[in-house]
């Protein structure tokens, strides 16, 4: 099990907020390793730690920290176990959480593989490969209410699946430092204004 994801990637995979991931690491609920890449030091978590975080997202986060630590310790030290029983009356389905983690990791890889970063293209903003369309713009349009199908219809070079993957990439790779310039933002707003009437017309 050599899988190692950053805290932000772990957030995208498990559904927990980045704050919750860092809190779990800081409290010693899950182990992590620190590595420096391109001058930036990041914390990484293992595949089994991701399973623990997924269990937390599925409801264990409501339990006391001491009890969660006991469960996570069993998961981390007994990777062969499909089910763990921290106490006789409680049974945790680890196998299902593990399957969900691996499925989400696969989706994250798809999102990352569709993106390229080139300083000569859109100021170095991550874009969908082969286009000049920033993934952040697609994510923002989805957040504003446009559907993946509507956005893809307005961008023939994109598929609806690529649009759906955009927020996953954005969550896994948040921009650092001061907010970056967004030369695409005005265009995104204009596209959204165009899409709303189209969707409304279909409903009628």
Lateral strand order in the sheet of 40-46: 4-6, 40-46, 33-37
In the block, which residue shows the tokens 């970063």?
117
Domains and CATH numbers, the chain: 4-111 (1.10.1660), 114-203 (1.10.10.10)
d(CA 97, CA 103): 10
Choose the weakest-confidence range: 17-31, 53-67, 81-95, 170-184: 170-184
Q: In this predicted structure, what is the pLDDT of residue 21?
A: 96
What percentage of the chain carries pLDDT values higher than 90? Answer: 74
Average pLDDT over residues 92-115: 97
Residue 177 has pLDDT above 70, yes or no: no
DSSP letters for 139-196? HHHHHTT--HHHHHHH-TT--HHHHHHHHHHHHHSPPPSSPPP-TTHHHHHHHHHHHH
Alpha-helical regions (H) of 27-91: 47-57, 65-77
Q: In this predicted structure, what is the pLDDT of residue 2?
A: 78
d(CA 68, CA 70): 5
What predicted TM-score, i.e. pTM, was given to this entire model? 0.82
Q: Which residues pair with 84 in a beta bridge?
A: 92
State the pLDDT confidence band at 181, using cuts at 50, 70 and 90: very low
Q: In this predicted structure, what is the pLDDT of residue 86?
A: 87
d(CA 140, CA 13): 19
State the pLDDT confidence band at 1, using cuts at 50, 70 and 90: low
Choose the weakest-confidence range: 144-153, 181-190, 193-202: 193-202
Q: In this predicted structure, what is the pLDDT of residue 187?
A: 46
Residue 79 has pLDDT above 80, yes or no: yes
Residue pLDDT, tens place only, 5-19: 999 999 999 999 999
Q: In this predicted structure, what is the pLDDT of residue 133?
A: 94
Q: Report in angstroms the alpha-carbon separations of 144 from 140, 189, 190, 192.
A: 6, 9, 12, 8
Q: In this predicted structure, what is the pLDDT of residue 150?
A: 94
Q: Report in angstroms the alpha-carbon separations of 136 from 36, 47, 54, 79, 149.
A: 25, 27, 25, 37, 17
Phi (first) and psi of residue 118, to 5 degrees: -140, 125
Choose the weakest-confidence range: 31-40, 60-69, 94-103, 193-202: 193-202
Residue pLDDT, tens place only, 187-203: 444 444 444 433 443 34
């Amino acid at each position: 099990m050599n899988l190692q994801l950053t805290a932000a990637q772990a957030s995208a995979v498990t559904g927990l907020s980045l704050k919750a991931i860092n809190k779990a690491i800081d409290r010693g609920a899950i182990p992590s390793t620190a590595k420096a890449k391109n001058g930036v030091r990041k914390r990484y978590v293992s595949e089994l730690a991701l399973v623990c975080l997924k269990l937390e997202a599925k409801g264990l986060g409501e339990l006391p920290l001491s009890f969660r630590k006991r469960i996570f310790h069993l998961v981390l030290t007994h990777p062969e176990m499909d089910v763990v029983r921290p106490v006789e009356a409680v049974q945790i389905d680890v196998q299902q959480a593990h399957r969900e983690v691996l499925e989400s990791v696969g989706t994250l890889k798809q999102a990352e593989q569709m993106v390229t970063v080139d300083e000569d293209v859109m100021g170095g903003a991550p874009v969908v490969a082969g286009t000049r369309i920033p993934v952040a713009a697609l994510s923002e349009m989805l957040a504003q209410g446009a559907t993946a199908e509507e956005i893809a219809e307005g961008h023939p070079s994109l598929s609806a699946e690529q649009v759906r993957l955009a927020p996953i990439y954005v969550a896994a790779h948040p921009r650092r430092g001061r907010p970056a310039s967004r030369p695409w933002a005005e265009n995104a707003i204009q596209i959204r204004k165009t899409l709303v009437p189209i969707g409304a017309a279909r409903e009628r």
